[in-house]
Structure 1
Amino acid sequence: MNTKYKLLITIGCFIVLSFLIQFQSNAQTKTKEVNIQSQSWVSENGTFRFSKRFGMIADLHMRRNNFLADPGFYFARTGLDYWINENITAVLGYGQMWVAPANPAWHHFVQEHRIYQQLQQFSKIGKIIVLNRIRNEQRWQEKIVNDKFTHDYKFTDRVRYLLSFTIRVADNKKLPSLVLSDELAIQFGKEVVYNTFDQNRFFIGIKQPVCKALSFDLGYMLFTQEKSTGYQYDKNNTLRCFFYYTPDFRKKTK
């Protein structure tokens, strides 16, 4: 089976899986409620390669609600990166998130701790770079009651699958490429009752190289998240700007 057919099968399975999970999540007795809001999301995503096999990642994220007016969350993530080959990498790491309170009268940010495992694969079909990434996260989310820390945590295990296409539309590599991606997240745990489907992130935009080790993408993300009730959703129209820094510190052979 050639690469193009494998890619079509992968896309088809992903679409069917996403539809089935969302259909199951929507099969609740209460009427679906959707909260529509605007967001902005900026991040730095660093991949540092030190040898043939080993490197590290270091990411910083900031998301704001009501476009720029209100804080959403701050997130820092790091991990050990292992190159299985030039196209496949595996990561083991840790992340911490600070989530702004949903109640505007409260002041304390919810802390979330994560341990995660990730497998990522790149392939190329003509002028299209295809990224497949699966990430498994163990998350401990602190519970806050009446704006006070309880030192009690909600545990969930979340699986995320990302399928992304970077399409070069011009022969000049200094010009931007088109980016299309979709990421589906499902979660499990004792306290996950109605929202096995957690969220979906669809993105369309451009990717612009700045220099050999630095690029950024800029565009629109439709970010849909299901609440724990199973019938309430956030639909976020998001302006996203992600920077990618990928220095290679391996010694060059003469």
Structure 2
Amino acid sequence: MKITPILFIFIGCFFSYGQTEKNVDHQSILWTRYYNQLTINDKWSLHSEFDNRAFLKPITQNLYVIRVQGRYKINETLETGTGFNYFSVATQDPEATTDFNTPEYRGQQDITWKQNLGKITLNQRFQVEERFIHNANKTELLPGTTFSWRFRYRMQGDYTFWKAENRFLKAIVSDEILINAGKSIIKNTFDQNRVYTALQYGANKNIVLELGYLNSFQQRASGIDFFNRDIIRFSFIHKIKLNKKV
């Protein structure tokens, strides 16, 4: 898979934001999610996800997410998917309280390339998102939505420490850069960079538990305001196979 032109675009945007004067807001967040992988046959699967995110200092609701996507396995190394996300954002500032949540409706499409190297699995994903964010001010929702694109590139490595029948223990390390685009994007073409590390334990053929740390450095619409977020993420991954032979 040739990704060099894509990498140059993402790296260029990443370094351009580094020259900007920054006002950085440090935040601590807990992400908890239930992730269901329903395998239909050896080509098709349906993935659904329920994700809750809450600030820890002070304890305040950040947002919750519902995701649904269909995935198609092209061959042993390539896979693609398309889906829909619904976000309900309570606040991005744990010190501020509002009486309403701001909805976001998001389409997504991705292509993922996977390469197995013994105990190590390399995984590259390029994803496109179409974001429709409901208009709002500090006190209420307003009519209409604002549209923008977002492009994401993630490089991930998995290392399996131990495996026995349907159980395993692996480490995950990834880096993802996210880029905004569209008429509504003025000063924050760079959206964020996410660095993630985790341990994943396969309890049996159906249940996988994952605990990780994610650092998200995100530029806001002003261009000079940033979030630096320390995120603890716990995932309960539930695998179901309709075809037992898969």
Please, what TM-score do these two structures have when normalized by structure 2?
A: 0.89
Matched residue type, 1:248: K
Q: Which runs of 4+ in 1 moved over 6 A?
A: none
Aligned: 1:231 with 2:221: no
Query: 2:212, 2:234 within 8 Å by CA — same for their partners in 1?
Result: yes
Aligned: 1:219 with 2:209: no
* Aligned twin of 2:157: 165
CA RMSD of aligned residues (A): 2.4
Task: List gaps (5 residues or longer) in structure 2.
Answer: none
- Whose strand proportion is higher, 1 or 2? 2
Distance 2:110 2:58 in 1: 31
Distance 1:248 1:195 in 2: 42
1:100-147 CA-to-partner distances (Å, cap 9, x unmatched) read 134624211110001111112222112101221121110001121242
Matched residue type, 2:153: Y
Distance 1:252 1:101, change over 3 A: closer
Aligned: 1:62 with 2:55: no
1:193 is aligned, of 186, 190, 195, to 186
* Aligned twin of 1:181: 174
Aligned: 1:20 with 2:12: yes
* Aligned twin of 1:148: 140
Question: 2:16 is paired with a residue of what secondary structure?
Answer: helix
Distance 1:221 1:108 in 2: 27
1:23 Cα deviation (Å)?
2.3
1:61-115 CA-to-partner distances (Å, cap 9, x unmatched) read 1111126711111000102222212432211111100011346242111100011
Distance 1:170 1:211 in 2: 13
Aligned: 1:44 with 2:44: no
Aligned: 1:205 with 2:202: no
* Aligned twin of 1:134: 126
Query: 1:101, 1:107 within 8 Å by CA — same for their partners in 2?
Result: no
Distance 2:143 2:63 in 1: 20
Query: 1:159, 1:187 within 8 Å by CA — same for their partners in 2?
Result: yes
Distance 1:244 1:88, change over 3 A: farther
Q: Which moved more, 1:61-70 or 1:73-82?
A: 61-70
Distance 1:130 1:208, change over 3 A: same
Q: Which moved more, 1:132-141 or 1:163-172?
A: 163-172
Distance 1:146 1:168, change over 3 A: closer
Question: 1:51 is paired with a residue of what secondary structure?
Answer: coil
Please, what TM-score do these two structures have when normalized by structure 1?
A: 0.86
Task: List gaps (5 residues or longer) in structure 1.
Answer: 1-5
Distance 1:89 1:105 in 2: 41
Distance 1:228 1:134 in 2: 23
Query: 1:40, 1:68 within 8 Å by CA — same for their partners in 2?
Result: no
Number of residues of Structure 1 aligned to a counterpart in Structure 2 = 242
Matched residue type, 1:246: K
